Structure 1
């Protein structure tokens, strides 16, 4: 499957402008043959919307997601985009998957970053939910989530081929380490594709690092953007092409075997009285 990722400069607080930008990117991605477009973290309200986030938050069945789904339906391309989700009087930093045919699927960020996010959002609960789309198995994480290796491993063990990571990585001294080193390592150590999709430019509150990338299971970058300009990345996701990589670096197989061995040894030690059950 061909996928696309839009590194964009969202307008903080202007969901109409941001929805129009995502639609424009979806048209370009569809014209390039892509079946999936991924947009950044909180791409619809803009990550730096600040105190306006509560006013901008909508339910997954609200007008904003409905209109996004209509774009997906018209262009026959699935879209993953970050939005501020209102659910039972709580706001979540969420990403929604729409394909225009099925009900929206929402992922809520589990690891909120810093006082800014914790002051606005309620964290979601870790899960291993997988989206089946045109033969591709997709997991979603949001920004800081991917920096915890157990989150990626959980989705890989559940059978994900691709992990989509809408992000709002700020321009700091360690941004390049995360985007150019950590992300390829996450892909390699879990034998999955990772699409890391960031904002660029700045708003009134934050300056963003850009550096969006699509990494393959062997750790190579299939597509990458620079730090500042907007960009549409396109890459072909063909898991079978990386079968040799999984044989050479069989982490998922061996961690499963190690887990089985640990359980067997633990039971034997317990029977021998080496530690209390």
Structure 2
């Protein structure tokens, strides 16, 4: 059956492009802080370890396999602080193809899941990455994810993915109740936090943990407003400034409205 609620953390931070070692040091510190506040899982922004808008050449240079050396460092951090971690990273796949990915590491340091961004956003994404070719997958976590997450259905999406109702609905239909979303949402896209996150949560009956950058890099200004949304669409925590901020919130994992939508939908009429 799993727990009825879970404590989550989302870290809003300024990007530090190309500074992999420095970003890992920052992750170690924030994982320690989130664990001290009782969070079972910490989500950090899209492409956190490398930076997001760094160009195709830098992405190709810094990309690693999902179990590469940077992943090993993240695993050590998660295990040291006994907290699950979701981080965005540049994944080198088969044939050298590079994907914009998210990885979930358990509190024992094991890599539990990887999601490759399906919906590429604008020329920034398209110039740097190949789109994932697999639909988002729901994972039923076990004791390896820690007692607080044992039995919880989770899904990962990366930034633009969460804006598509098909993505969240598919995850919900396959048992996810907690969606973990590293993002790099820039100024000018505030409708995501104003409308879409709450709508996606409410219609799917899933809680959403959305961790964004603030500040700027060479190419983009990020709008912050990292957010934790409950499965009824209620905002449970939101960054109140455009500075670095750690959000921690207890989220319920069930909502009557979302369960009704899943139960009553006429999927037979929607298939092509």
Give a deviation string over 1:29-85, Cα, whole Å, max 9, x none. Answer: 000001100001101101122231111111112110001001111111000000011
Structure 2: gaps (5+ residues): 1-5
**Correspondent of 2:83 among 35, 53, 77:** 77
Which of 159, 170, 178 pairs up with 1:162? 178
Which structure dedicates a bigger proportion of its chain to helix?
Answer: 1
Which of 186, 200, 209 is the matching residue for 1:195? 209
Alignment partner of 1:47: what SS? coil
Matched, 1:252 2:262: yes
Report the Cα offset of residue 235 of structure 1: 1.0
Matched, 1:223 2:230: no
Corresponding position of 2:128: 120
Bigger relative contact order, structure 1 or 2, given CA contacts below 8 A and separation 6+?
A: 2
2:181–2:208 Cα contact (<8 Å) kept:
yes
Distance in 2 between residues matched to 1:73 and 1:12, nearest whole Å: 25
Please give the secondary structure, in 1, of the residue aligned with 2:111: coil
Which one of the candidate residues 56, 60, 69 is aligned to 2:62? 56
Change (3 A) 1:186 1:39: same
For 2:72 and 2:226, how far apart are their aligned partners in 1?
27
Please list every run of 5 or more consecutive structure 1 residues that lacks an aligned counterpart in the other structure: 267-277
Segment of structure 1 superposing worse, 33-42 or 47-56: 47-56
Matched, 1:92 2:99: yes
Per the normalisation by structure 2, the TM-score is 0.89
Q: Matched residue of 1:181: which SS? A: helix
Per the alignment, residue 129 of structure 1 pairs with 137
SS in 1 for 2:190: helix
Task: State the alpha-carbon separation in 1 of the partners of residues 185 and 109 from structure 2.
Answer: 32
Q: What is the rounded CA distance, in whole Å, between the counterparts of 1:177 and 1:103 in structure 2?
A: 33
Does residue 29 of structure 1 match 2:34? yes
Counterpart of 2:165 (choices 149, 152, 156) is: 149
Query: How many residues are matched?
Result: 255
2:226 to 187, 200, 212: 212
> Shift of residue 102 of structure 1?
2.8
For residue 259 of structure 1, report the CA deviation from its aligned partner.
2.8
Residues 164-185 of structure 1, C-alpha deviations (whole Å, 9 max, x = no match) = 111100111xx22211211011
**Match 1:110 to one of 112, 118, 122:** 118
TM-score (normalised: structure 1) = 0.87
Could you tell me whether the CA contact under 8 Å between 2:206 and 2:258 is conserved in 1? Answer: no
Aligned residue for 2:51? 46
CA contact (8 A) 2:203 2:258 kept: no
Q: Which has the larger radius of gyration?
A: 1
